[in-house]
């Protein structure tokens, strides 16, 4: 009954781990596939290994998609990256199928059978085109994923454009971020909100929100999921900004200091996230 959602491993997200397999294996075996299609002399040495490599790539792409969805539930949907990521499994699976058919036909091809030779040529070329496509979509997904994760952190100006410092001092060692706790932060000087099961410290963003101060004020101390989803859905920039203001998942135990540091862009980083426990 229980399905494994590839969410966490040793308390850390599976997604960055499996992404490394995808971004190494897909280009490597896609390139090998192109080589063995156009260089028959390489087939005995690399034919089978390429097919196995493409099978592993397909499974990795599937796990990358599942783990990406699980991570998006935790940190927010990274818009463009999700769209790019969704292409990878489709193209890599198609490449694997085309390569398997090509390999099967090619290894059984006899010199006399003209139709079979044409089929071998056709499926070979198709697999080469798909191999190129797989490299492109993998690059796009990997690049957009890395951008979603890192761009705002290494480029504070881009990350927090317009964000003004806001200080929400919280005393005490640790707190549990419940809806009741969120309700205590309901003013524009101290504004927390819940979006899709996670709690965000929006204090530093109230006065710089491009859609106006009032729209953020309205969700301070409350669950703003519907308002946020209705206005922004999976739009990349709002979701990226939001992920930089994360305190933790609803129900998580976090340090009060970490929660207040979410609103400390004056130091230049502005992207610290509160520590997060399992719910
Ligand atoms: C539907 C599919 C996918 C979803 C929903 C998804 C979701 C995510 C999320 C939520 C993040 C974290 C972003 C952040 O912290 O702001 C991420 C990071 C990343 N993703 Fe994906 N992803 C998907 C597919 C893929 C695929 C197929 C690849 C591989 C080509 C990939 C490569 C990456 C990379 C390289 C990172 C950065 C990891 C790091 O540096 O820590 N993703 N993705
Ligand atoms: C909760 C955190 C929120 C964040 C981080 C956020 C972020 C953003 C960002 C980055 C933009 C500029 C988008 C762009 O230039 O592409 C924006 C625009 C806007 N936002 Fe938000 N937003 C939030 C909540 C809301 C809510 C709750 C509402 C209304 C119910 C709202 C209404 C708007 C409107 C009307 C715009 C202007 C749209 C436009 O110019 O086309 N936002 N927001």
Whether the predicted pLDDT of 168 surpasses 50: no
What 3-state class would DSSP assign to 219? coil
Whether the predicted pLDDT of 279 surpasses 50: no
Contact 259, 204 (CB under 8 A): no
Counting ligand 2 atoms within 8 A of each CB, the residue from 80, 160, 229, 231 with the most, and so the one to mutate, is 231
Alpha-carbon distance 46 to 190, whole Å? 61
User: Do 210 and 263 fall within a single domain?
Assistant: yes
Whether 142 is in the pocket of ligand 1, judged by its Cβ within 6 Å, is yes
Is 130 inside any structural domain?
A: yes
Is 169 inside any structural domain?
A: no
User: Which residue, 177, 147, 162, 130, is CA-closest to 30?
Assistant: 130
Ligand 1: centre distance to CA 65 (Å): 8
Q: What CATH number does residue 244 fall under?
A: 3.10.120.10
Q: What pLDDT does residue 166 have?
A: 38
Q: What pLDDT does residue 157 have?
A: 46
Q: What pLDDT does residue 251 have?
A: 83
User: Do 49 and 12 fall within a single domain?
Assistant: yes
Contact 184, 172 (CB under 8 A): no
User: Do 150 and 13 fall within a single domain?
Assistant: yes
User: Do 75 and 188 fall within a single domain?
Assistant: no
Ligand 1: centre distance to CA 29 (Å): 21
Where in the sequence is the domain holding 47, given as residue range(s)?
Answer: 8-154
Ligand 1: centre distance to CA 169 (Å): 33
Ligand 1: centre distance to CA 274 (Å): 20
Counting ligand 2 atoms within 8 A of each CB, the residue from 159, 211, 223, 235 with the most, and so the one to mutate, is 211
Is 206 inside any structural domain?
A: yes
Alpha-carbon distance 91 to 132, whole Å? 10
Ligand nearest to the CA of 20: 1
Whether the predicted pLDDT of 262 surpasses 90: no
Is 160 inside any structural domain?
A: no
Ligand 2: centre distance to CA 203 (Å): 15
Ligand 2: centre distance to CA 89 (Å): 31
What mean pLDDT value characterizes the chain?
Answer: 83
Whether the predicted pLDDT of 59 surpasses 60: yes
pLDDT band at 175 (very low <50, low <70, confident <90, very high): confident
Separation of CA 24 from chain center: 17
Ligand 2: centre distance to CA 228 (Å): 8
pLDDT band at 159 (very low <50, low <70, confident <90, very high): very low
pTM of the model: 0.60
Look at the chain and report how many structural domains it folds into: 2
User: Do 15 and 133 fall within a single domain?
Assistant: yes
User: Do 185 and 148 fall within a single domain?
Assistant: no
What 3-state class would DSSP assign to 194? strand
Ligand nearest to the CA of 23: 1
User: Do 78 and 116 fall within a single domain?
Assistant: yes
Q: What pLDDT does residue 193 have?
A: 95
Is 161 inside any structural domain?
A: no
Ranking 120-134, 169-183, 207-221, 250-264 by mean pLDDT, the lowest is 250-264
Ligand 1, atom 19, residue with closest C-alpha: 145
Alpha-carbon distance 188 to 206, whole Å? 6
Is 278 inside any structural domain?
A: no
Whether 134 is in the pocket of ligand 1, judged by its Cβ within 6 Å, is no
User: Which residue, 262, 127, 116, is CA-closest to 202?
Assistant: 262
Whether 82 is in the pocket of ligand 1, judged by its Cβ within 6 Å, is yes
> Per-residue pLDDT averaged across 103-129, rounded?
86
Q: What pLDDT does residue 263 have?
A: 55
């Amino acid at each position: 009954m229980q399905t494994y959602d590839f969410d966490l491993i040793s308390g850390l997200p599976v997604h960055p781990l499996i992404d490394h397999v995808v971004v190494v294996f897909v280009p490597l075996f896609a390139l090998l596939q192109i080589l063995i299609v156009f260089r028959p002399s390489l087939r005995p040495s690399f034919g089978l290994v390429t097919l196995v490599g493409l099978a592993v790539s397909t499974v990795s792409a599937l796990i990358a998609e599942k783990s990406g969805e699980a991570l998006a539930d935790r940190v927010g949907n990274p818009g463009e990256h999700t769209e790019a990521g969704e292409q990878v499994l489709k193209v890599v699976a198609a490449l694997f199928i085309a390569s398997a058919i090509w390999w099967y036909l090619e290894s059984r091809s006899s010199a006399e059978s003209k139709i079979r030779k044409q089929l071998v040529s056709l499926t070979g070329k198709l697999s080469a085109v798909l191999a190129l496509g797989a490299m492109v979509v993998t690059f796009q997904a990997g690049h957009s994923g890395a951008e979603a994760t890192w761009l705002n952190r290494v480029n504070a100006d881009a990350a927090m454009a317009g964000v003004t410092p806001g200080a929400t001092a919280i005393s005490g060692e640790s707190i549990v971020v419940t809806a009741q706790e969120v309700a205590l932060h309901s003013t524009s000087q101290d504004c927390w909100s819940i979006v899709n099961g996670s709690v965000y410290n929006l204090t530093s963003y109230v006065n710089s929100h491009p859609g106006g101060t009032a729209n953020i004020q309205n969700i301070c101390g409350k669950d703003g999921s519907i308002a946020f989803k209705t206005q922004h859905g999976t739009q990349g920039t709002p979701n990226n900004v939001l992920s930089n203001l994360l305190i933790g998942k609803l129900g998580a135990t976090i340090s009060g200091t970490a929660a207040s540091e979410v609103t400390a862009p004056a130091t230049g980083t502005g992207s610290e996230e509160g520590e997060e426990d399992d719910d």
